[in-house]
């Protein structure tokens, strides 16, 4: 039995009995066929020991026999598409699904694989045999075209993500368990003693849930927090008198609110996410992704080349960061001090007391633009710290390492990949990767291969390589992000990825690989040096990289100055900057201090 947690993070709520996705029966038929192809029902593997055949456990049998077309997976995928997808992406996915429901459309998208046994007999996608549908998807995943890069620009990717996410971790019973966990040797429970988990909710006294208030109770609640509120019946709104309004409670907004409140200012913070503390967390990936991440963890750039994992709760990125706090490299501090003319980064006070944090780089620019600011530089120079992953399989019978990948500390070491000039080209860390995220990030090669990979989950270790990107992006509208790597970024990612793979091989992995869409991997034992050299040189970085936007109070990355900036000159000023934009004044907060000071938080 799992310990108590917040209802929104428990995953135990009843699902909608009626879906409002709006897909036609023909489109749903194509979607269900895609789900079945991604996650097919397969015969369980039979092992032979001492000349005798042994059937797998019931849990393993259930995992292999599970199918992505089972109710309610297709409907949940359609609902997710409607709620999370951009309008043009939804249109494209529905167009593909409709084409697959017709024989001519299937021929255009699938080629000769849709031919039946009879001469010139063309079948629609759902009528094609499972093995042929699998071959179609294998071709789709290997193509380098725009519509194969995104969960929403390619229905096959969307089906893969949600089918595995729900079957592995989102679907739980009343006791908070999932039958698949036993098969993959996973335990979602925490090893913390419930009595030792902090019970405090430090922001609760200043919190107002506007979605739980009526017109009359909202006025009373605001007044009880010490705010002066007047009602405007004609316009049906409340006017709140305060010194500062901050949108977003992340490491930029939250710290700014604390500093201002400490100076005697009356501060109101507006936050769209929910407030969770230590006692609320469940460890369930499905509901946690939905509640703690922007767009449920499925936010991508406009060309779908970047997946951005941005926090969306009270605390912002600090809620979802796994407490990896790394000192800013000296080369970066020197660059900021000398090239950017910000001497504070070279001061003894900073070096002895400060860790960098970053403000809301994704949502601040759209807010500025919607507020009437016109400067063309708003939203530019967005940096995301791109990430690539490598994995290694360590079977328990052949390894000195015992236990599971989810045991032990969240992160215990960070490795710097240093160039000849002593500059750090990349850093290597261990990510916290649950089974649902594991299944979504792993490249899909076939249904059988995917289920075999899941059986190895508990002994498959991952390393991530993170770089300081020179390329940049742009965000001017909420949810629409453009981003590009430059040549040096790609080179640094390759160097970091090679080092991560070397670490895994040196640690004794019997097989290592990357998350390239073709399932790039290599067996480690008995391989000739020539084959190893070929493997090292085959790294390519096409579109579709997995990136992670790293934000948080204790996050080890430089400040994302550019996206929230608007100055005509590339001048960066520490802490608070006041500038004129036309006739308007605006304040951009980038703070380097964290204080525990009460302030009013309105959700």
Binding-site residue numbers for FAD are 242-257
Q: Which residues contact 103 (CB under 8 A, 6 or more apart)?
A: 114, 122, 123, 124
Query: Which is nearest to 460 in space by CA: 439, 478, 483?
Result: 439
| Whole-angstrom distance, CA of residue 445 vs CA of residue 94 | 24
215 phi-psi bin (left φ>0, alpha ψ -120 to 50, beta other): alpha
Q: Which residues of 343-364 are buried (b: 16+ CB within 10 A; e: fewer)?
A: eebeeeebeeeeebbbbbbbbb
Identify the three-state secondary structure at position 278.
helix
Question: What is each CA distance from 37 to 73, 87, 159, 188, 448, in whole angstroms?
Answer: 13, 26, 9, 28, 10
Annotated binding site: which residue ranges?
242-257
342: Cα within 13 Å, side-chain hemisphere? 18
Contacts of 558 (CB under 8 A, 6+ apart): 328, 332, 336, 356, 358, 383, 468
Residue 396, both tokens: 């328990």
- For residues 131-151, one letter each, b for 16 or more C-beta atoms within 10 angstroms of the residue's C-beta and e for the rest, the string is ebbbbbbeebbeeeeebbbbb
Cα–Cα nearest to 411, from 446, 458, 463: 463
Chain centroid, CA 580 distance in Å: 36
- Alpha carbons 33 and 107: distance in angstroms, whole number: 16
β-strand 600-602 against 267-270: which pairing, if any? parallel
Q: Is-cis flag, bond preceding 72, omega within 30?
A: yes
Burial label for 29, CB within 10 Å (0-12, 13-18, 19+), is buried
Of the candidates 222, 327, 273, 230, the residue with the CA atom closest to the CA atom of residue 555: 327
């Amino acid at each position: 039995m799992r310990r108590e947690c917040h209802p929104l993070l428990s995953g135990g709520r009843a699902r909608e009995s009626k879906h409002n996705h709006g897909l036609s029966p023909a489109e749903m038929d194509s979607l269900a066929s895609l789900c079945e192809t991604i996650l097919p029902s397969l015969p369980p593997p039979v092992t032979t020991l001492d000349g005798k055949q042994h059937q797998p456990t019931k849990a393993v049998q259930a995992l292999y026999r599970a199918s992505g077309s089972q109710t309610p997976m297709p409907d949940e995928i359609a609902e997710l598409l409607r709620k999370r997808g951009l309008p043009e992406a939804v249109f494209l996915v529905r167009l593909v699904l409709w084409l697959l429901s017709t024989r001519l459309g299937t021929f255009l998208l699938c080629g000769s694989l849709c031919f039946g046994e009879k001469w010139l007999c063309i079948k629609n996608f759902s009528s094609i045999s499972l093995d042929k549908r699998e071959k179609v998807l294998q071709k789709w995943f290997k193509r380098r075209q725009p519509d194969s890069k995104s969960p929403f620009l390619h229905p096959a990717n969307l089906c893969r993500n949600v089918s595995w996410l729900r079957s592995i971790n989102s679907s739980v019973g009343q006791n908070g368990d999932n039958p698949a966990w036993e098969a993959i040797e996973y335990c979602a429970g925490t090893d913390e003693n419930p009595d030792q988990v902090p019970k405090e909710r430090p922001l609760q006294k200043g919190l107002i849930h506007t979605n739980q208030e009526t017109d009359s109770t909202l006025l009373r609640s605001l007044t009880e927090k010490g705010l002066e509120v007047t009602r405007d019946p004609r316009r049906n709104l409340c006017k709140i008198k305060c010194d500062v309004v901050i949108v977003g409670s992340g490491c930029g907004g939250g710290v700014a609110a604390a500093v201002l409140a400490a100076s005697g200012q009356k501060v109101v913070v507006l936050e769209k996410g929910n407030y969770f503390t230590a006692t609320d967390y469940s460890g369930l990936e499905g509901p946690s992704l939905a509640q703690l991440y922007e767009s449920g963890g499925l936010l991508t750039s406009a060309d779908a080349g970047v997946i951005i994992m941005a926090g969306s709760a009270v605390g912002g990125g600090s809620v979802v960061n796994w407490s990896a706090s790394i000192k800013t490299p000296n080369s970066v501090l020197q660059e900021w001090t000398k090239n950017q003319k910000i001497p504070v980064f070279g001061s003894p006070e900073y070096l002895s007391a400060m860790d960098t944090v970053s403000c809301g780089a994704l949502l601040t620019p759209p807010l500025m633009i919607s507020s009437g600011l016109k400067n063309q530089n708003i939203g530019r120079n967005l940096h995301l710290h791109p990430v690539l992953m490598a994995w290694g399989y360590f079977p328990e019978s052949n390894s000195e390492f015992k236990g599971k990948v989810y045991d032990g500390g969240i992160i215990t070491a960070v490795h710097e990949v240093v160039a000849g000039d002593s500059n750090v080209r990349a850093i290597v860390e261990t990510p916290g990767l649950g089974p649902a995220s594991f299944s979504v990030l792993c490249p899909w090669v076939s249904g059988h291969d995917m289920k075999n990979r899941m059986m190895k989950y508990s002994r498959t270790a991952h390393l991530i390589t993170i770089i300081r990107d020179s390329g940049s992006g742009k965000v001017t509208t909420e949810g629409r992000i453009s981003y590009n790597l430059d040549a040096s970024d790609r080179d640094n990612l390759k160097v970091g990825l090679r080092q991560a793979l070397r670490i895994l091989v040196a640690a004794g992995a019997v097989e290592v690989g990357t998350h390239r869409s073709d399932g790039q991997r290599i067996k480690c034992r008995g391989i000739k040096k020539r084959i190893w050299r070929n493997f090292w040189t085959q790294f390519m970085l096409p579109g579709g990289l997995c990136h992670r936007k790293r934000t948080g109070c204790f996050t080890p990355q430089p400040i994302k100055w550019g996206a929230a900036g608007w100055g005509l000159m590339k001048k960066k000023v520490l802490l608070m900057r006041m500038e004129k934009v036309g006739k308007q004044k605006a304040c951009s907060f980038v703070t380097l201090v964290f204080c525990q000071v009460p302030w009013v938080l309105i959700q």
